[in-house]
Amino acid sequence: MHSTQPRLRHGALTAGAAVLALLAVGCSKASAGAQTGGCREDGRWSGRQQAAWLRTAVAFHGAYDGAGPSYEKASVVVRPPRTGDVRVLCRSLAVQIEFWTLTATATGTERSFVMRYRLSADGSRTRTVGFPARLPTGQDRTCTRVLVAVYAGAPLTEGELPRTTQGLSGADDTDVRFGTERIGAHRLLPGRNSAQCAPDRWTPSPSPTVSTGWDIYHP
């Protein structure tokens, strides 16, 4: 009779400890879930998946219709996605915004690098990058257009760089081809002097296009 009560107490304590252990495990799992469940896992995304995310997050704003004297009001905006899964990414993407000029010549199209910005984006806030200050105005009597592309990862390799499939006069975004699937968005902008881009005009010796030759990095 005297040994029954201690045994009951011991059993109750053991059962209570087991319940507490289960609760602790449950809380631990809940805590881990709270840390990862609120964001969108992108650690194993391919270049195509990163491009698809950027496609919903990138917008081009400003006076880029060829009517104004400069691109001072033009910008590229990387914002939280508006459609699909709009959760913040668990890992920020390294996003490149790159600018080139395309100049019509007697033998084809000459591409020149202008500038490249690098920033991080995870969909938690809006980032705005203005166009480079020194872009061609068309005053040198050449047919020069500006191409801008937004993509994730490292800078484009030689085989990934853009090319046009037809002359600059009537080309649009669909006439630009990249040797990679990781381009999220791109835009081919009209020449500042549209008369120089008429189909029957070309410049045999175009003036050199200004090129800074360096990158700007944004944390």
Domain for residue 113, yes or no?
yes
pLDDT at position 94 is: 97
pLDDT at position 140 is: 61
Domain for residue 128, yes or no?
yes
* 48/45 Cα distance (integer angstroms): 8
For 74-94, what is each residue's pLDDT tens digit?
Answer: 899 999 998 899 999 999 999
Whether 33 and 56 map to the same domain: the answer is no
Question: How does 24-39 read in b/e, with b if 16+ C-beta sit within 10 Å?
Answer: eeeeeeeeeeeeeeee
- Give the residue-averaged pLDDT of 169-194: 87
Domain for residue 12, yes or no?
yes
Whether 6 and 55 map to the same domain: the answer is no
pLDDT at position 169 is: 77
Domain for residue 204, yes or no?
yes
Domain for residue 136, yes or no?
yes
The pTM for the full model equals: 0.72
| Residues of the domain holding 61 | 47-217
CA distances from 84 to 52, 152, 159 (A): 11, 19, 32
Whether 10 and 112 map to the same domain: the answer is no
pLDDT at 36 over 60: no
pLDDT band at 25 (very low <50, low <70, confident <90, very high): very low
* 27/17 Cα distance (integer angstroms): 15
Q: Determine if residue 153 is left, alpha or beta; phi over 0 gives left, psi from -120 to 50 gives alpha, anything else beta.
A: left
Overall number of domains in the chain:
2
Q: Which of 156, 157, 151, 87 minimizes the C-alpha distance to 119?
A: 151
pLDDT at position 144 is: 86
Measured in residues, the chain has a length of 219
Whether 64 and 33 map to the same domain: the answer is no
For 97-138, what is each residue's pLDDT tens digit?
Answer: 999 999 888 888 899 999 999 999 999 999 999 999 878 765
Whether 52 and 25 map to the same domain: the answer is no
Domain for residue 179, yes or no?
yes
Better-predicted residue by pLDDT, 167 or 79:
79
**3-state helix/strand/coil string of the chain:** CCCHHHHHHHHHHHHHHHHHHHHHHHHHHHHHHHHHHCCECCCCCCHHHHHHHHHHHEEEECCCCCCCCCCCCCEEEECCCCCCCCCCECCCEEEEEEEEEEEEECCEEEEEEEEEEEEEECCCCCEEEECCCCCCCCCCCCCEEEEEEEEECCCCCHHHCCEECCCCCCCCHHHEECCCCCEEEEEEECCCCHHHHCCCCCCCCCCCCCCCCCEEECC
pLDDT at 167 over 90: no
For 190-216, what is each residue's pLDDT tens digit?
Answer: 776 566 676 655 444 444 444 444 445
Whether 17 and 57 map to the same domain: the answer is no
pLDDT at position 214 is: 45
Better-predicted residue by pLDDT, 44 or 71:
44
Whether 70 and 177 map to the same domain: the answer is yes
Whether 102 and 120 map to the same domain: the answer is yes
Whether 110 and 20 map to the same domain: the answer is no
Whether 8 and 74 map to the same domain: the answer is no
Domain for residue 42, yes or no?
no
Whether 171 and 196 map to the same domain: the answer is yes
pLDDT band at 37 (very low <50, low <70, confident <90, very high): low
Whether 32 and 95 map to the same domain: the answer is no
